[in-house]
Amino acid sequence: MVNHAIGSMGGYTMVLCALKALLEHNIILTVVADKAPDDHV
C-alpha cells in the first residue's frame, strides 16, 4: 500500500508541476508524455 501511494504521488507531482508552469509562465511542459511515450493514444 505504501509503494502504491509513493508511485501515485510521483504522477500527481509531475502533473502539478506542468500545470504550475502553464498557469504562471504560459509554458507547456510535456512531462506526462515524456514519462510514458508509448501510452498516449
**What integer pLDDT is reported at residue 27 of this predicted model?**
95
Overall number of domains in the chain: 1
Q: Does residue 40 form part of some domain?
A: no
pLDDT for 20 = 95
Q: Give pLDDT, residue 41.
A: 53
Residue 23 within a domain: yes
Range of the domain at 13: 2-35
Quick one: 16 exposed, middle or buried, by C-beta within 10 A (0-12, 13-18, 19+)? Answer: exposed
Q: Is residue 41 part of a domain?
A: no
Q: Residue 8 domain-assigned?
A: yes
pLDDT tens per residue across span 1-41:
677 766 677 778 888 889 999 999 999 998 877 777 777 65
Q: What SS3 class is residue 36? A: coil
Residue 28: inside a domain, yes or no? yes
